[in-house]
Chains A and B, each alone.
Chain A
Amino acid sequence: MDSNGSGRRQFLKNAAALAGVGLGAGASAEWAARGETAKSEGKPEAPHDHRELLRRGARFSVDHITYYTPLQDYVGIITPASLHFVQYHASHFPDIDAKQHRLTIHGLVDRPLSFSMDDLKRLPSVTRIHFLECHANSSPMIHGAGNENMGPPVQYVHGMTSCSEWTGVPLSVLLNEVGVKPEGTWLVSEGADPGKFSHTLPMAKAMEDVIVAYGQNGETLRVEQGYPIRLLVPGWEAPFSVKYLRHVKVVDQPYHAWNEAMNHSVARPDIGGKARWYHYQFGPKSVITRPSAGLNMPGRGYVQITGLAWSGGGVVKKVDVSTDGGKTWKEAKLQGPVLPRAHSRFTFDWAWDGEEAVLMSRCTDELGEVQPSRAELFKNWGFSEEDSKKPQRSIHTNCMQPWKVARDGSITDAMFS
């Protein structure tokens, strides 16, 4: 769908739209000065710059705005808000006046209430570090889809995961104020974006650890992250975390809004060609961010392998690294802090001997679950071995990523080779 030419034109159009909703005149001036599309910092020889919008891998289609986090340049565990991934289902961001914005909670409750931003900010707040990952991140189909706007493979294949310190009111506090009736077992939430993004959430999760967030990494939530408020559903696929949150209705069954019922379901052979309805938490996952495809080995001898590991199931327990394509494994160091449902940074000391190598990482989480290989994952889903080698569209993908190092020091994506 995104040929380079139309992607470019669409990008410029969207750049103008972004400037229009107040993402900053500076950004559009930067784009205009370059007279072209944003380019990511993917190429290792690119000079470093802090013009943040230019560092995000970008992709636009008529009904999507997508930014990919530059994982290759990402250090530590926190993603700056300016580099957080975006997967947005409309053509422009909403322009919401926070003074006028209200969050309503109604449905199967004793006291339907409307909350202003002042109301939300006077209530007890929590601040927690959690990853957020698009359910389509790492989809096999995207491995061959890169272009110069999207950064190197680790950025555009895996860059729809980010990790932030989120601040807001626990949703349980608000639900207690309205008084949920016993038959209120699910919620459905609506955003104020043009597409009215809506999603169902089970009450048990809502009462456990969900946040109505107004802050991210020490600042006010940004426009593209749901300003003025969004849901933050820790460890679960990101579509649960509805942005621009304005209505929450307490109901007695899943509501199957358009995005969740059809747009976000994918048929699978192991369940008779039917589609799985509601994936909840992400499984254990990890990826080596450096060295990775598109970058070059700095030379023979010592090189630190580093990457990120996370799990919707809780804390990352250990990460193993292989430099021979999975034949042998050694345990990596977890740098810390290692927090539940958050990115964890791992490092691994390696001496490159100048020979071919295939680098992979494998995460084990506190539930004892182990990150699968591509072959294992696709076998679980009922695909034939032949089909598992084709880049399929899939969601909920958490398989291991192999990077192949050649003798000349170049690195390529070896998922399908």
Chain B
Amino acid sequence: MRCSLNLLASVVILAAPVAGLAQSPKFNVGTPLSQEEIKGFDFMVGPEGKELPPGQGTAKEGAVIFAKRCEVCHGQNGERGVLRRLVLGSPGKPFRGPFGAAEKDSVAYYPYATIAWDYINRAMPVPKPGSLTHDEVYAVTAFLLYRNGIVQETDVMDAKSLPKVEMPNRNGFVPAVPVYPPEPKPSWW
């Protein structure tokens, strides 16, 4: 705590430029993007799921796709495999921690269900990320949530239902909602 005052001073300075943000372009460089173009790449999904596209899927449908496209790395039902163990707990019985280095790989650790959809959609499966349809991504997400005991096998996952899924580790992070500038703390914190 020996430096909290200094830290405070530095975050105040950091915050300052936002207030002075100028709004008119100075160089007029760059090509305007249409809403149509943006729709084609706007797939970084936030906690509220605003970017989730139309489509839907259930765990039952996801099981088939998972076996075909994901099992080779993540093992049967995501429980074993050469890579990350995606499933802890079991249907109806979610894993609630503690989360060590190995448990952290599981979907049970995610604070938001939308993260699973987002990562599967953009980064999976290796080696052909982006090759699943949106319906398939919803289905695989539903399957992993079901195997982790978080949703029912028949629950339909779509742009409306997925952000509402209550994740068991939602409160496993500090601060619960990040703010910036952060509360002044020494850097080890």
Could you list which residues of chain A lie within 8 angstroms of chain B, going by C-beta atoms? 62-63, 90-91, 104, 106, 110-116, 119, 122-123, 172-180, 185-186, 188, 190, 194-196, 198, 202-205, 207-208, 247, 249, 251, 253-258, 261-263, 265-267, 271, 273-278, 280-284, 312-314, 367-370, 372, 377, 380-381, 393, 396, 398
Contacts and interface: CB of A to CB of B under 8 A. Distances in A.
B176 to A, nearest CB: 8
A271 B33 contact: no
Given A204-B14, A247-B41, A180 B33 contact: no
B60 interface: no
Q: Is the interface of B mostly helix, strand, loop or mixed?
A: loop
B80 to A, nearest CB: 15
Given A255-B44, A369-B3, A207 B17 contact: yes
Given A202-B180, A277-B178, A247 B44 contact: yes
Nearest to B22: A176
Contact of B186 (A172, A186, A249, A369): A369
Contact of A267 (B16, B29, B100): B100
A63 B126 contact: yes
B119 A203 contact: no
B23 A112 contact: no
Greatest chain A CB density within 10 A among B6, B97, B174, B175 is at B174
Contact of B174 (A263, A274, A282): A274
A115 B29 contact: yes
B118 A119 contact: no
A314 B126 CA distance: 40
Given A262-B115, A267-B98, A278-B178, 12 more contacts: A119-B30, A176-B23, A177-B25, A188-B44, A202-B181, A207-B17, A255-B44, A256-B112, A266-B104, A275-B99, A276-B174, A283-B186
A283 B188 contact: yes
Contact of B44 (A63, A207, A249, A253): A249
Contacts of B177: 253-254
Contact of A111 (B21, B25, B37, B109): B25
Contact of B3 (A195, A280, A367): A367
A52 B188 CA distance: 35
